[in-house]
Structure formats: structure tokens, C-alpha cells
Amino acid sequence: MTAQVLNGGEVAEKIKQGVASRVRELEQRGIKPGLAAVIVGDDPASKVYVGSKVKTCQALGLSSEKFELPATTTTEQLEALVDELNRRDEIDGILVQLPLPSQIETRRILEAVDPAKDVDGFHAVNVGHLVRGEETLVACTPAGIIELLDHYQIPIAGAHAVVVGRSDIVGKPMSLLLLHRNATVTICHSRTRDLPAITRQADILIAAIGRTAMITGDFVREGAVVVDVGMNKATTREEIERIFAEADRPKRMEDLNKRGYTLVGDVEPRTVIGKASWFTPVPGGVGPLTIAMLMKNTLRAAESRKGEKKG
């Protein structure tokens, strides 16, 4: 068996096309969804992420504003900006790029965002709605994974889903979304005893633990669907030879020589692809879905705030 690819890029394009179409409809009624992206400090990765989000807004017809604050910004200063954005009616979604500098109280900032504009789905109000299975703004990566599974018609109801990782951003909301779709859900983490014995029970295995190629073929049941949320870097030839099958190594070595690393998830492709029925590659699997779902959440926030319902 060789696993089939769950192509996140393809599904993300479909989501974005749907968003662009709906944005054009709203524009005819004088409504233009707007996203405010806030970045604090000079972290290069954060700048790339925010730049990509702003660029995608422009491509889909949403308005966007970027706010870049110095690394010395205080919690109070950032909170004041969030308060201002909460009051601006043309702003439907507020994104505060994480991680924030250590002197800023991250939870306080996330809770300062108006829940109606919380397009990251991190506010306690939206998390509470998610727990109860109510319509709400949901964290983008887990919501994107559900869209991915639906696109490829992978049955969720009745499946045993094992989620490895319990973060507020992926693991917990992912578990709740699967539960609301009638999966039987097991959540694993760093303290789980005999992790491979549990993950081998999974029909759907979600790897979101943040450890390079930790999930090997020994963790995977024959025919399982494997979704890799990890985004790590392999920086040596030895790592590449261990993680990737021989056919994949030339491209990975090219990445290593050019950039000093190649991207790899939490799953070891070399040993997993031969056992899984479906898998998400890294890059090109889950990653593209996160920005697409941010656009969809911004659209949904605008519809909700402006009293628009899709016909």
C-alpha cells in the first residue's frame, strides 16, 4: 500500500474561490469584509506569515490593514490598539500574530479582542461556543482539517480519531470538532503511556505534537488516515536520510543546500506512507488551509456582524 495524498493546497484554493465569490456578492450591497493584522517585533517568520495573509486578502477582494509595533511594546499599548480596532466598524476580523514578545500578557490580549472579530477563534467566548457545539468562529487549522477530510470524503462519524497534542490552537479544538462530527476521540500528549499502542488504534490520526518526525510507521495502523500538523526543520543530511524515502531525498537535499533546512512535520514519511491510506505532505498539506480558513472566518465575521446570511 502507498498512501494517497491529501492535497491541502488544492482544497485551500477551493475555499478561497468560494470566499472571493461571496465577497463579490457582498460588495454589490456595499459590504467589504476587512481584516486587521497586528504584528509586534521583528520576528522574520511572523513577518512572512502576516505578509502572506495581507496578500491573500487583497487577492480575494477583502480589505486589510497591517499594524507593525516595536518589540518594546507593552501589554497596555497593544491592548489600546486592539480596543481601537474593536470600535472600528469597517474592521470585521482582528488577527494578533503569535508569538508575542515575553513582556506582553498574551492571554490578556487575546481576551481583549471582540469575540465577534476573533477570526483566530482563540477567545474564551468562542471556545465556549465550540465546546457546546454551537456556530462560532473556530481556530483556523483544525477547521481547515475538517474541510480537508470532507473534501476527500473521509468518514468521520463512527471513526476512532486519535489526536496527538493538546494545544489550545490545534489539539483541543481539533478534538472537539471531531467529537461534534460523531467520531470517538482520544487525546494523547507528552505524558501518555505507551503512545504507539494508542495511536495504532486510530482510523484518523492527527499529529500535532511539534516534534520532528516523531510519528513513525510503528505508530500507525494499516490503512489509517494520517494528518500531519507539524512544521519543523531538518537541518542535516543524516536527518534527511532517516526521515525521507530515497526518491524524496534529492529534492530535500536541494532545500538543505539552498536554505540550510528542509521542512518536515511530526510524521516520518519514509515509514508511514507505506502503511497509511491517506496522508498530508509537509509542506503542502495542512499549511495552506490555515490562511484559507482565516479568510473564510473573516468573511463569516463580516456576514454575522452586518446581518448578512448566505442564500
> Of these residues, 114, 120, 228, 266, which one is catalytic?
120
Long-range CB pairs of 232-237, under 8 A, 24+ apart, other chains included: 232/263, 232/264, 232/265, 232/266, 233/261, 233/262, 233/263, 233/264, 234/261, 234/262, 234/263, 234/264, 235/260, 235/261
CA distance 38 to 17: 25
> Of these residues, 16, 97, 114, 275, which one is catalytic?
97
Long-range CB pairs of 218-224, under 8 A, 24+ apart, other chains included: 218/271, 219/195, 219/272, 220/272, 220/275, 220/276, 221/275, 222/1, 222/275, 223/1, 223/275, 223/276, 223/277, 224/275, 224/276, 224/277
CA distance 165 to 169: 10
Does residue 255 carry a catalytic annotation? Answer: no
Does residue 120 carry a catalytic annotation? Answer: yes
> Of these residues, 53, 117, 275, 296, which one is catalytic?
53
CA distance 269 to 215: 9
Q: What angle do CA 209, 16, 163 make, to 5 degrees?
A: 20
Does residue 89 carry a catalytic annotation? Answer: no
Enzyme catalytic residues:
53, 97, 120
